[in-house]
């Protein structure tokens, strides 16, 4: 469907290519050097919630192996590395004293990136909220907003002169809905009203922290990362089309319009009834802060159905190990839609902050990992992003999710998203075929 021969030179010279990870998924060292517990440390102890009953205590031992891992990143020839700070590693309780040893780790990491010519793309919140804040109500509690602003300002004060980019929150929809409505992610709460209040506090803390970090002189680019999918009807029925409108309103418009338009879509606000969030005067203006970029995490499209949930396997479609349809056209459609509907609302330049696929990779007898399906996935999605750019959308960068196989949340270590294979028993890293292809693509060598 797309031009499989897409090359780096088809993209602008200043387009940023990268790989991404997050703290909880790779660092391990769960209570090293004064780190406090996070809600994911706690959640992993709840019986039955993690598919393989694992946790993040060891993960990829990146806390110890960070220098080798950065060498690996640099060997790919990427421009940038997207990582997150573990809030409880730098502030054990989420308020009060900061942890010097925790900050020293991220100082080493950021300086290590710069020494290797990599632009640091920092995320402040990739889900690992300090447990001590959850004990006081977590993201449902308005006080957490100010704690986050204080934490963000301290990170910006220490690292803001060296990082290229600061993202406030990764995927607020996941934190709100999976963490507080379905409860399949930490902290495991099941209430729609709480989820909607949580989303409001995430938006508010995003806006207030960017304003505060800029006020103290931080010049890094600032924005947020949303997980978005184009939503399509499972069938042509009117009922399914209505299901699309609802899902799009709740999952895309609610998030994008709060941040870009400073308002919740009126129709969906009304439909929420008593679940609407408490919004204080000034909140909506505060969250609509101008952003330098909007990060988009794209994996697949969503099919909405008014009846039984759509079974992606029924159509004989190619799916990843997560059961997610491989659908590169979806990223083109999504980018075009955002451009069409929100350019007039100050849509900032877009960055694909995550895109990738899980497959059940193994190391073959020849010592290689033959992950051709992932290689094709990346190739087709590069071309699909390029197509949106050709049609006028400003996209400034693309990050593969993920550098390493890692702790995939409720799926534990069973799902492998890395372009680098990790043998968890030995911590041996092996570049998969997809990583070698990405490296060659970046070098401008034909595939
Ligand atoms: O692993 C996650 C990541 O932490 C957030 N975005 C989606 C990825 C794959 O599920």
Which distant-in-sequence residues (6+ apart) come within 8 Å of 282 by Cβ?
Answer: none
| C-alpha of residue 310 to centroid of ligand 1, in Å | 22
Cβ atoms < 10 Å from Cβ of 218: 20
Sign of CA dihedral 282, 284, 286, 290: negative
> How much distance in Å is there from the Cα of 325 to the middle of ligand 1?
15
Confidence band, pLDDT 50/70/90 cuts, at residue 287: very high
48 dihedral zone (left: phi>0; alpha: psi -120 to 50; beta)? left
Tens of pLDDT along 94-137?
Answer: 999 999 999 999 999 999 999 999 999 999 999 999 999 999 99
Sequence-distant (≥ 6) Cβ neighbours of residue 63 within 8 angstroms:
27, 28, 29, 32, 105
Res 152: pLDDT:
99
Q: Which residue has the tokens 């509690």?
A: 141
For residue range 22-65, list pLDDT tens digits in order: 999 999 999 999 999 999 999 999 999 999 999 999 999 999 99
- Residues 276, 196: contact at Cβ < 8 Å? yes
List pLDDT tens digits, range 155-172: 999 999 999 999 999 999
pLDDT band (50, 70, 90) for residue 309: confident
Give the residue carrying structure tokens 């270590």.
413
Look at residue 231 in the predicted model and tell me its pLDDT.
Answer: 97
SS3 label, residue 58: coil
Q: What percent of the chain has pLDDT over 70?
A: 99
> Which residues does residue 82 pair with via DSSP β-bridges, in sequence order?
20, 121
| C-beta of residue 60 within 8 angstroms of C-beta of residue 26 | yes
Walk me through the domains of the chain, giving residue ranges and CATH numbers.
Answer: 8-443 (3.20.20.80)
Residue 2 has pLDDT above 60, yes or no: no
Residue 184, Cβ density class (10 Å: 0-12 exposed, 13-18 middle, ≥19 buried): middle
- Angle between the 100-115 and 62-76 helix axes, to the nearest 10 degrees? 20
In the residue annotation, 414 being an active-site residue is answered as: no
Tell which phi-psi region holds residue 267, choosing left (phi > 0), alpha (psi between -120 and 50) or beta: alpha
Q: What angle do CA 113, 161, 282 make, to 5 degrees?
A: 120
Mean per-residue pLDDT, 332-339 = 98
What pTM did the predictor assign? 0.98
- Closest-CA residue, ligand 1 atom 9, reads 408
What is the rounded average pLDDT of the residues 344-359?
98
Measured by CA distance, the residue closest to atom 4 of ligand 1 is 22
Q: Residue 85 corresponds to which tokens in the numbers above?
A: 């700070």
Ligand 1 pocket residues where CB is under 6 Å:
22, 25, 171, 297, 354, 401, 408, 417
Question: What phi and psi, each to the nearest 5 degrees, are found at residue 248?
Answer: -65, -40
Q: What does the pLDDT look like over 108-119, one tens digit per residue?
A: 999 999 999 999
Query: What residues contact 156, with CB distance under 8 A and at least 6 apart?
Result: 166, 213, 216, 218, 220
Closest ligand 1 atom to the C-alpha of 408? Answer: 1
Count CB-CB contacts under 10 A for residue 103: 18
pLDDT of residue 315: 77
Encode pLDDT of 63-89 as tens digits: 999 999 999 999 999 999 999 999 999
DSSP 3-state of 91: coil
For position 268, what pLDDT does the model report?
A: 97
Average pLDDT on 183-192 reads 98
Atom of ligand 1 nearest to the CA of 22: 4
Give the pLDDT confidence score for residue 314 in this predicted structure. 79
Q: State the DSSP code for 207.
A: H
The model's pLDDT over 208-261, given as tens digits with 9 standing for 90+, comes to 999 999 999 999 999 999 999 999 999 999 999 999 999 999 999 999 999 999
Interior/surface letters 109-126, b for 16+ CB within 10 angstroms, e for the rest? bbebbeeeebbbbbbbbb
CA-based Rg of the chain, rounded to a whole angstrom? 21
What average pLDDT score do residues 302-310 get?
92
**Annotated catalytic residue: which of 171, 181, 232, 408?**
171
* CA-wise closest residue to 178 among 192, 164, 165: 192
Q: Does 100 qualify as catalytic in the annotation? A: no
List Cβ neighbours of 101 (8 Å cut-off, separation of 6 or more): 33, 34
List Cβ neighbours of 328 (8 Å cut-off, separation of 6 or more): 1, 2, 377, 380, 381, 383, 384
User: Looking at 140, 325, 354, 387, which residue is catalytic?
Assistant: 354
Residue 393 is predicted with a pLDDT of 98
- Between the CA of 408 and the centroid of ligand 1 the distance, in Å, is 7
């Amino acid at each position: 469907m797309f031009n499989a021969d897409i090359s780096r030179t088809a993209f602008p010279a200043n387009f940023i290519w990268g790989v991404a990870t997050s703290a909880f998924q790779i660092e391990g060292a769960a209570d090293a050097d004064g780190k406090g517990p996070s809600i994911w440390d706690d959640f992993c102890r709840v019986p039955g919630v993690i598919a393989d009953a694992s946790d993040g205590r060891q993960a990829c031992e990146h806390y110890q192996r960070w220098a080798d891992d950065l060498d690996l990143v640099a060997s790919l020839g990427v421009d940038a590395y997207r990582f997150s700070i573990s809030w409880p590693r730098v502030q054990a309780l989420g308020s009060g004293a900061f942890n010097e040893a925790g900050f020293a780790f991220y100082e080493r990491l950021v300086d290590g990136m710069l020494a290797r010519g990599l632009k640091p793309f920092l995320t402040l919140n990739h889900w690992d909220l300090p447990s001590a804040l959850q004990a006081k109500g977590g993201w449902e509690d308005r006080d957490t907003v100010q704690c986050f602003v204080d934490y963000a300002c301290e990170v910006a004060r220490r690292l803001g002169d060296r990082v290229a980019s600061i993202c406030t929150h990764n995927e607020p929809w996941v934190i709100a809905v999976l963490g507080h409505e379905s409860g399949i992610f930490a902290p495991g709460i099941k209430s729609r009203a709480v989820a909607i209040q949580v989303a409001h506090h995430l938006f508010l803390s995003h806006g207030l922290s960017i304003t505060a970090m800029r006020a103290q002189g931080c010049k890094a680019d600032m924005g947020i990362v949303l997980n978005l999918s184009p939503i399509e009807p499972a069938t042509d029925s009117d009922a399914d089309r209505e299901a699309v409108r609802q899902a799009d309103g709740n999952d895309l418009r609610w998030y994008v319009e709060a941040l870009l338009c400073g308002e919740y879509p009126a129709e969906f606000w009304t439909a929420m009834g008593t679940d609407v969030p408490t919004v204080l005067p000034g909140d909506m203006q505060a969250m609509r802060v101008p952003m330098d970029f909007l990060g988009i995490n794209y994996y697949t499209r969503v099919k909405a159905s008014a009846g039984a949930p759509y079974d992606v396997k029924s159509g004989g479609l190619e799916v990843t190990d997560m059961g997610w349809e491989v659908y590169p056209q979806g990223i083109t459609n999504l980018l075009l839609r955002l451009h069409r509907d929100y350019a007039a609302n100050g849509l900032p330049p877009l960055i694909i902050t995550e895109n990738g696929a899980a497959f059940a990779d193994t190391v073959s007898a020849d010592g290689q990992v033959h992950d051709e399906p992932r290689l094709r996935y990346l190739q087709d999605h590069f071309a699909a992003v390029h197509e949106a750019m050709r049609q006028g959308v400003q996209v400034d960068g693309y990050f593969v999710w993920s550098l390493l196989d890692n702790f995939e949340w409720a799926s534990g270590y069973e799902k492998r998203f890395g372009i680098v294979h990790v043998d968890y028993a030995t911590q041996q890293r092996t570049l998969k075929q997809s990583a070698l292809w990405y490296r060659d693509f970046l070098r401008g060598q034909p595939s």
